[in-house]
Structure formats: structure tokens, C-alpha cells
Amino acid sequence: MDYAATILSRLPGASKRDHGVRRLIDTLKSYLPDEHLGQVMRAYEFGADAHKGQTRKSGEPYITHPVAVAQELADMRLDVQAITAAILHDVVEDTEASLDDIEEQFGHEVAQLVDGVSKLDQIQFRSRAEAQAESFRKMMMAMIEDIRVILVKLADRLHNMQTLGAMPTSKKKRIARETLDIYAPIANRLGINSLKIQLEDMGFKHLHPFRYRVLDKALKKSKGSQRQIVKRISDEFGKAMTEEGIEGDISGREKHLYSIYKKMAEKKRLLSDVVDVYGFRIIVEDVNACYQTLGLVHQLYKPMPGRFKDYIAIPRVNGYQSLHTTLFGPKGLPLEVQIRTREMDRVANSGVASHWVYKADEKSDATPQRRAREWLTNLAELQQSGTSEEFLESVKVDLFPDKIYVFTPKGDIMPLPKGATTVDFAYAVHTDIGDRCVAAKINRGLVPLRTPLQNGQTVEIVTARGAKPNPNWLTFVRSAKARTAIRNHMKNLRSVESVDLGKRLLDKSLKDLGSSLRKVGKVRMSSVLEELGLNNDTELFEQLGLGERLAPLTARILMGVDQDDEGESQAASLVISGTEGMVLSYAKCCYPIPGDDVMGYLTAGRGIVIHRNSCGNLSNFRKQPEKWIAVAWEKEIEREFSCQIQTETRNRTGVLAEVAATIADCGSNIEQVEVLGRHEDCSVLSFLLTVKDRKHLAKIMRNVRKMPNVMRVSRDCA
């Protein structure tokens, strides 16, 4: 009996749980030495003991989940540390076992992998979105240290998606959306095509179950009629290759539901147009044979113009290599053909996991390992950007590889996001180049910095000593690296320039009130700083210089102006940065209510007046931007607000009373009614109502609109 058999004999029975670990050991013994199998079994026993008594929503013992995750990684032939971490990836989060316990029994490397995958449930966050973003940031930072973290996480997500059936519908949809937005693109970015396809199809199945069933049924129906055509064309390709002495394998390419759905949605095409495209994959021995085979298939069937892609000469950003061409087949049917070597096919399916151990001497531009290293280096720079949510958004930009390829003056290929500008190119070369760029040349001709780049262009950046990034660049750059670098530069400038500016603005505002910073005195300044929750006057000056507080308002606080009871009660209904103690009023030109996008405008006699962003009168205020202030509604406001609606009603007896009764039934009081116009068959009426928020107003308008004598209802805005 060999070592693996000895290990298997220690398992207590032939339950479903043990069947999973038996299959895992069988897979592992095909490529791992016996002593490593012993560590995996110890991890299994440790995990089974820690998860004892825990079950999944489906009723299965919990340990079946980590074993299934480990099986997915074993199929990718990952090392013993990754397999061990997969089996233990939930013990810290869901059991009493600690990271120290894991480190003591299985070593520091395994403990680090488990820590990278674990969620941050023990930290209190302000919102679910922030918790998810921070958990994502932690996982990605661990991934920078060790790529195996994300491989464990992807396998974990795949098994969760495969067993999502027991979850409530709302949770299914949330997890499916997260899978399509984050995890499938990460698998794609790392070139792990097999995982990406499964994650996309499972995400599609749970996010749009009806659409999935319709497409799945149509695809199965079309497969029968396709088999004969695929066999005939495959035989033609095979015969031509044999005559030329080219060895290779030809197969009909399976279509995946999510890719079909995306193509239908993006290109507005019918299902029959997408399904009736025949896919073929030809695997040959070397690169020369790839190009020879391409010539052969072009001789057999005419190629479609503009549909040839050479990803061997210019690999995709995730290291994927292949030749793609589309042909006019029998009766004009489109034939999509992929031609690649066996190594390229292995990389296409497994990507970075096809050979996960990085080799320092790997020079080939095409290796997924090299591309992954570059991406992870870029992530390390991105994580310096402010909040976790910003980091998540930045990474999302990089995850969808809709790329263009341009050349440096030396002929090196530079992949960039679609729509990238010369500034994105400058930052892709080096952050210092981006910071100091002043001009750009495309194909030797000078162009504006905001010029979008096209495939195949040669780009040259002109730099100047002492040049600095322009904040306006943020309006047109597309890459996460450029956006992060510009923001970081602006943040570094804040502490120097904004403090000086804020100090001058406050002193000027105090002089307008007959005082100055010198006259205010340290005691009054300390009192106000404590009231505002600031540590020192430098923080106050910085906020003033950045526009986070308005100098005239801060000057009034320092002078004790406008601090009356009315201002206190009014201010309670809004959260307004820097307006403590100011009088608030709500504009009667647009009647803002909670839920509206609003802004504040500082006036001489009325304090701050709140307007809707869509208010027509704002155009008059745009000439004085220094008097604007950012405002935001509180989540729960216990008061009512005035709001105006306008109705067009048929001229019928009692219609005004009917509308008034409907409004009253919705819990609103009518403050004023005005007839704006009367025609032969209709009247235009204006109602001034009291409402709680936009939801309350929407309910009123919906009920009024349903009335048989009401033709139209709208909200007034000057």
C-alpha cells in the first residue's frame, strides 16, 4: 500500500464529505510528493475539527466547501501551501481557531495566505460598501505579496457560485453582480480563462435566471444542427493541413452563454445572428505552423476584412496569445477560427496558474507571470489613493481590458485602456514622465495632451524640468495609474499652498467684519477650533484653502455673528460643511426637498439659501463661485417642506376638489392653489404642498396622475 492509500485509509467512512477529500488526494498524488500529502491531510483534519457542527445552507457539512476549493486549485496543479490554505481559508473567520494556531502547525507562508483571503468582519465599518471595499483592498494587497491569495479566493468564489441555489434571491443577485464586476474580470486579467468562463456563466445564471434559461434552451436546440457543419469544415481543415505536413488538433469551439448574451446586448444583435457563428480552434506545434495554418484556412474560405487579430505578435494584456480570423463559410456562414500552439492553449486556459512559480529569468513579453507582476506593481501604487472605495473603483478601471496598443519612439508596445490620452501614455511610461509632461507628439506631429490615442500610433512625450501635473487632466485621463498619480500630487500640494491661501482668505473676511486674525486672539481661536473638532489653526486654514469651508462663514463664527435660535433649528435639517450657526432658508424659486441634489448660496441678508441643482436661477449665481457651498441632506429629517406641483386637468365640475382630496389622502397639506391658465377643455392648476421628501412627493404625483380627469402632472422649477 502506498503513502496516499495509507492516508485515505485513515478516513472514517465513505460519506460525501470523505469522498471529496479522497478525490482531492487522488488528484494531488499525481504531482505532489508523499510528505506534502501528509500536510494536506493534517490540514483537512484540523479544518474538519474546527468546522465541526457547522453546515452550509444546503445542509452539507461545512468542510465540504474548503475541500471543493482545494480541489479546484489541485486541478490547476498548485503547490502544497496553496492547497493547505484553501482547506483552512475559512477557519479564522468562522471558527475559534486563530492565525497563530495555523502558523504554529502549518508555517508562516500558509498563515499569510489564509490572512489574505479572510474577510474583515471584525472591523466596524460605516457601510456595507465600505466593508466590501476595504476587504477587497486587503485581499488585493495580499495578492501583491503572493499571487496565490487571489487564486484561492477565485476558487472559493467559484464553489460559492456553484452552490448559490440555497440563498435568498436578493443575496444571489448581489453576489452574482459582485462576481461579474470583480472576480470574473480578475480571472480574465490573470489569463485564467477556464475560471473566468465558469464565473461569468454562473453569475449570469443567478443575476438573470430567465434570460439564462432562454439562451441555454436555444443553444442546446441549435447544437444538433451545428454538429454536421462543424464536422465537415473540421475535416476540410484537417485534410489541407495533412497535405501541407502540418500536425495539429482541430475542434469546434464551445460557445459560452454569458459571451453570447454580452454580444447580443452590446451589438444589439438577434440570438440567431450570434448562435449561427461557428467557432473552431486549431492547436499546432509551433509559431511557424500557426502562420502556415492561417494561410491554409484563408485559401479554403475568404477572410472577412478587418476581422483578423494577431495576438501572437502583440499579446493581450493578460499574456493571451493566438491568431484570430473570421471567414465566410458555406452559404456565407461566419466561421471564427483561433490558431495557437499547445503552450499558448495551456496559458489561455490557466494563465498565471499555468506555471504559477515566477521565474526571475523570464524575458518573454507574453508570459502571464510577467504581465501579472507588472499589474501587481501598478496595484501597489494605486493603493496609495485615498479611501478603499476609490481604490476599488481604480482597480475596476484596470480590470476591464478593453485595450489599445501604441508604440514608444523605441518601438516598444504599450497597452492602454480604450480612450486613453497622451497623458495616460506618459504615466504608463513612468510617473515622473507624467508629472513633467508639457506636450506630446503622435507619429511625429504635435497634438494637445487630451488627444485620445488609436491603435498602432507612435507616441512621444515632451517633458520640462519644473513642470507639474494640471488638476484639469483628471477630466480626461482614463487609466487608474494616471488618475492616482495626479490626485497624489494634488494632495501633496495641499499642505503648503492651501494653508497659505486659507489664512489670507480668513484674514480678508475678518477685515470685512471690522476685525483681523491678529485681533481675534488665541483664546477665541482655540475655543472655535475645539467647537469645529479641529486640532490646530493649520487644519482650519487648509480646509479654507481647499474650499471645504467658506471663509466668510468661518469669520462670522470667530466673531460670534448670526448665532441665534432660528439658525440653530434650521441648521438641524441639513449637514453643511463649515456652516455651524448660520441661518438657513429654502429657495422659493425651486422649492428643494430632501432627496434633491442641492447646493447652498451665501447671501448678505438671508444667510445660506438652499437651491436645487436644476434651478434655473443658478445661472445668475455662477458668476460668484466663491459664494457656493456643498450641502447634503441628513438621512432622517423630522419636518415637512414646501413643494410646488402643476397639473393639467379637464374642465369638469368638481375636478379641483377631487385633486385636493387625492393630495390630502397622501398625507399632504395644500398651502396654496392657483389657476395658471384656462382653456375650453382644460385648466392648468398650481398647488403649493407640504411633503416630507422626494418619495412622498413621488407618491402624491403618481396618485394624481392616475386620476381620470388629470392629463399631466409635473414639478415646477424656475
pLDDT in tens, 114-168: 887 775 334 444 455 666 666 666 666 666 667 788 888 889 999 989 888 778 8
- What CA–CA distance (Å, rounded) separates 594 from 599? 12
Residue-wise pLDDT for 179-192, tens only, equals 887 788 888 877 78
Average pLDDT of 523-546? 82
The answer to whether residue 283 scores a pLDDT higher than 90 is: yes
Which residue's entry shows cell 453546515? Answer: 55
Grid cell digits, residue 76: 490547476
Q: Which position has the grid cell 439562451? A: 215
Alpha carbon of residue 480 to chain centroid: 12
- Least Cα distance to 70 among 114, 24, 15, 131 occurs for 24
In the chain, the amino acid numbered 664 is A
Q: What is the pLDDT of residues 70-94, one digit of tens each?
A: 999 888 888 899 999 999 988 888 8
The Cβ of residue 93 has, within 10 Å, a number of other Cβ atoms equal to: 14
* pLDDT at site 571: 39
- Cell 481675534 locates to 520
CB < 8 Å & 24+ apart, contacts of 39-42: 39/80, 39/84, 39/106, 40/70, 40/80, 40/83, 40/84, 40/87, 41/7, 41/10, 42/105, 42/106
The model's pTM: 0.55
Mean pLDDT of 302-316: 86
Residues 117 and 153: beta-carbon distance below 8 Å: yes
Q: Which residues contact 409 (CB under 8 A, 6 or more apart)?
A: 458, 459, 460
- Helix runs in 400-550, H state only: 422-429, 431-436, 480-493, 499-512, 517-520, 522-532, 537-545
Nearest CA to 329 among 292, 290, 277, 291?
A: 277
Query: What percentage of the chain reaches a pLDDT higher than 90?
Result: 15
**Sequence letter at residue 547:** G
| Segments making up each domain of the chain, as ranges | 3-210, 211-355, 481-551, 562-635, 641-715
In the predicted model, is pLDDT for residue 700 greater than 90? yes
Residue 640's pLDDT is: 87
C-alpha 307/C-alpha 522 separation (Å) is 73
Tell me what pLDDT residue 85 has. 92
| Beta strand 334-341 pairing with 278-284 | parallel
Summarised one tens digit per residue, pLDDT across range 359-379 is 333 444 445 556 665 666 666
Query: Residue 222 class from Cβ within 10 Å (0-12 exposed, 13-18 middle, 19+ buried)?
Result: middle
Rounded to whole angstroms, what are the CA distances from 641 to 171, 410, 596, 669, 696?
Answer: 36, 65, 12, 10, 11
* Residue 342 vs residue 599, higher pLDDT: 342
Which of 394, 593, 366, 349 minimizes the C-alpha distance to 486?
394
- Residue 347: pLDDT over 50: yes
The rounded radius of gyration (Å) of the Cα atoms in the chain is 33
Report whether 535 contacts 575 (CB < 8 A).
no
Q: What is the tens place of the pLDDT at every residue in 400-438? A: 556 677 888 887 778 788 788 999 999 989 889 999 999
Fold held by 3-210 = Hypothetical protein af1432 (1.10.3210)
List the one residue out of 428, 431, 479, 476 whose CA is nearest residue 449.
476
Please compute the mean of the pLDDT values over residues 487-505 and round it to a whole number. Answer: 73
The total number of residues shown for the chain amounts to 718
Q: What is the mean predicted confidence (pLDDT) over 558-573?
A: 51
What phi, psi does 642 have (nearest 5°)? -80, 145
Can you say whether the dihedral through the CA atoms of 459, 460, 462, 465 is positive or negative?
positive
Longest CA–CA span in the chain (Å) reads 100
Q: What is the pLDDT of residue 70?
A: 92
Query: Helices 193-207 and 209-243 meet at what angle, rounded to 10?
Result: 150
641-715 folds as Alpha-Beta Plaits (3.30.70)
CATH superfamily of the 211-355 domain: Beta Polymerase, domain 2 (3.30.460.10)
Residues forming the active site = 93-94
Q: What is the DSSP string of 292-304?
A: HHHHHHHHHSPBP
Residues 663-689 have a mean pLDDT of: 86
Each residue's pLDDT tens digit, 30-67:
888 888 888 999 999 898 888 888 888 777 888 899 99
**Nearest Cα to Cα of residue 153 among 89, 98, 110, 240:** 89
3-state SS class at 427: helix
Q: Give the contacts of 34 (CB within 8 A, at least 6 positions apart).
A: 2, 3, 4
480 versus 604: the higher-pLDDT residue is 480
